[in-house]
Structure 1
């Protein structure tokens, strides 16, 4: 459930998560959000604090007063300490200040969801390439793989969906965050750089024409 009154941001997040198979319901009004959350169950809630109709902090208070334990990530317009403390005291599980990086939002949501279902496995891997979803660090065997921010975000997007294609649209949006969308040409440069960094890991990035890119073990053939 996404409660956000900025339509461009709502559209971007809905499209990005939808491409990953995540169903998103959204509303731009605090009163409507309160009613919807009272009537329907969700796996996780992204809640902006500055909303028309009813402030997000009141939506959160009412949610917790009803005994609803759904994980809530609060969006704040700034990194102001008061806003963070207010949200956490009202029952938020995490917070993120605007503008934010899409990759960080996805990572925080995954962590919240894992905790809510009691999941303990924090590592995903392909061959000797391993990604820790809690620390967000890569290793190849026992050696750390340190990457520039955009290459890191690109490889993270591929490894958490290992064996499944991720479209160029999703990847360019992820690398762009809330800024102008990255070009396909720039994306191809980052993919080329990553392929060289993965030499010897047993993992490789395949291009699937019309579908995007997929991370697989070097001896596997993508479906």
Structure 2
């Protein structure tokens, strides 16, 4: 079984974020004075932006995408990212600040997998993924406080799981990596041992497509330059 690795040019990610909740992250990349607000509590998204050297601040949206009713997977993930984006934009007093929202889902067959509700649900999700391919879809939405949403894009990555026993899946879930992740697994952790192949953006599977985020921020002048 081959180990999943990042594409050339994408950051290699550690299992946990380096930036503390609510802190500023990033490095030498030039951003406008308004900076960028990340509308997410995800430590993995914080780490991806930090590794890219993008200056940002964290303001979790607190939005509950579970209330969204659309059945189409693409419509759902797009709407979820926009809800997070608009929630933070409406509550921020920082007029002119850019806000980045994101949502990730795992799609296998006709089923859409978000975060599991408990360990039993996590094992159920993983059993759906074993021995087949699935799609990881992340919507990234950019907006500006005082102006509204500017753009929303969806990035897809195809991931293949090899065979695994129920006992292996149960032990993996018990290790504590599952409950805060769409599809109940983290490709950058123990679950890399289940993954036999990745087609597309590795960082998208982690939670934020690095190359596409950079392109989005540059296109809308949220960054003056990169790197």
Q: Which TM-score bucket, shorter chain as reference? A: under 0.3
* Structure label with greater radius of gyration: 1
| TM-score w.r.t. length of structure 1 | 0.24
Larger RCO, structure (CA 8 Å, separation 6 or more)? 2
More helix by share: 1
| TM-score w.r.t. length of structure 2 | 0.24
